[in-house]
């Protein structure tokens, strides 16, 4: 089984419009699928820097003089590129979400399919795991996480049930969590609701939306004029942030207007691209993917 099946592989790399001697960044290295495709299109003078916070991804390092793999969260992109003497790049690619490997490794606790310890950390260096969230967060905070990150309307009732269950016995595994919430999981929609619950916990554990915002804000300064940003997202929370950033260069409010009443914006937004029916058939995880691209003005 491959480490990760890249979604929208050619479309996302096409979006970078690679210059053979350019400098590029793949901020979600994973199994290296996107990086390998970028390297194919780079000339001998080109350079590719990749980021991944997951220790498991380091095993996939590519042996190529044009390639550097940085074991860090992409929220630190500017700082670590500066360490390598890089202040400007021609393109940045991000494939957000969880890799196939992380879902398929039972002991990582990302999947609802396996009975595993509640972990869900994308980097083992993170202090808070899913266990702490489920067993130590108060009812109000749990409710907020389930509502905001899982988009669950009955978040308050779910949080109350978790707190009542853990008072009787600590919730240590994914199946124990599932059992505690069984009354909220009607058979027809059980998998959908569980996926939303797991998504909410995972986003909290890894501070995914904060990291995404920090990363996106740095791309404006890092990209050269005409540089490309290519981002694949998998749920509406990520996609809304990416879409708004590419449109306005910010996440809340609207940018200033110039003398003529036009918005002063840092990017020109490209068209939305979604996977073909054939790709979704081949790789079910592609079904929710959305690719957005933008050009630095």
pLDDT tens digits, residue range 236-248?
A: 999 999 999 999 9
Tell me the whole-structure pTM to 2 decimals.
0.93
Q: Which stretches does DSSP call E strand in the chain?
A: 23-26, 47-51, 67-70, 89-95, 223-233, 267-269, 290-296
Residue 256 or residue 69, greater confidence: 69
Which residue, of 168, 186, 206, is where some domain finishes?
206
Alpha-carbon gap, residue 293 to 245, rounded angstroms: 11
Which residue, of 178, 206, 234, is where some domain finishes?
206
What is the three-class DSSP state of 258? coil
pLDDT of residue 106: 64
Lowest mean pLDDT among 11-15, 186-190, 250-254: 250-254
Residues 51 and 63 in one domain: yes
For residue range 123-144, list pLDDT tens digits in order: 988 999 999 999 999 999 999 9
Residues 63 and 88 in one domain: yes
Structural domain including 172 reads: 107-206
Alpha-carbon gap, residue 6 to 285, rounded angstroms: 10
Burial classification of residue 165, based on how many CB atoms lie within 10 Å of its CB (0-12 exposed, 13-18 middle, 19 or more buried): middle
Residue 1 included in any domain? no
Residues 202 and 115 in one domain: yes
Q: How many CA atoms lie within 13 A of 222 on its CB side?
A: 27
Which residue, of 146, 176, 206, is where some domain finishes?
206
Residue 273 included in any domain? yes
Within 57-189, where are the H helices? 77-83, 100-104, 130-136, 139-148, 155-168, 174-180
Residues 96 and 217 in one domain: yes
Q: For residue 216, report the phi and psi dihedrals to the nearest 5 degrees.
A: -60, -45
């Amino acid at each position: 089984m491959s480490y990760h099946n890249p979604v929208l592989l050619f479309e996302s790399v096409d979006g970078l419009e690679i210059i053979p001697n350019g400098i590029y960044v793949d901020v979600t290295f994973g199994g290296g699928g996107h990086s390998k495709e970028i390297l194919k299109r780079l000339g001998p003078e080109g350079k590719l820097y990749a980021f991944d916070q997951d220790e498991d991804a380091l095993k996939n390092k590519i042996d190529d003089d044009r390639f550097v793999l940085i074991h860090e969260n992409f929220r630190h992109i500017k700082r670590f590129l500066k360490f390598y003497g890089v202040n400007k790049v021609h393109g940045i690619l991000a494939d957000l979400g969880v890799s196939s490997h992380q879902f398929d490794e039972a002991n990582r606790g990302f999947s609802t399919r396996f009975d595993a310890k509640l972990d869900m950390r994308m980097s083992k260096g993170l202090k808070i795991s899913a266990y702490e969230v489920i067993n130590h967060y108060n009812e109000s905070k749990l409710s907020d996480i389930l509502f905001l990150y899982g988009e669950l309307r009955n978040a308050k009732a779910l949080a109350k049930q978790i707190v009542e269950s853990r008072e009787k016995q600590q919730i240590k595994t994914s199946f124990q969590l599932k059992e505690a919430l069984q009354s909220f999981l009607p058979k027809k929609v059980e998998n959908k609701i569980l996926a939303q619950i797991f998504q909410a916990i995972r986003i909290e554990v890894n501070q995914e939306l904060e990291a995404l915002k920090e990363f996106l804000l740095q791309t404006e300064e890092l990209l050269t004029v005409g540089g490309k940003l290519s981002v694949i997202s998998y749920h509406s929370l990520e996609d809304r942030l990416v879409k708004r950033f590419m449109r306005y260069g910010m996440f809340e409010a609207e940018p200033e207007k110039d003398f003529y009443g036009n918005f002063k914006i840092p990017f020109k937004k490209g068209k939305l691209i979604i996977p073909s029916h054939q790709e979704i058939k081949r790789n079910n995880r592609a079904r929710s993917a959305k690719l957005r691209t933008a050009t630095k003005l």
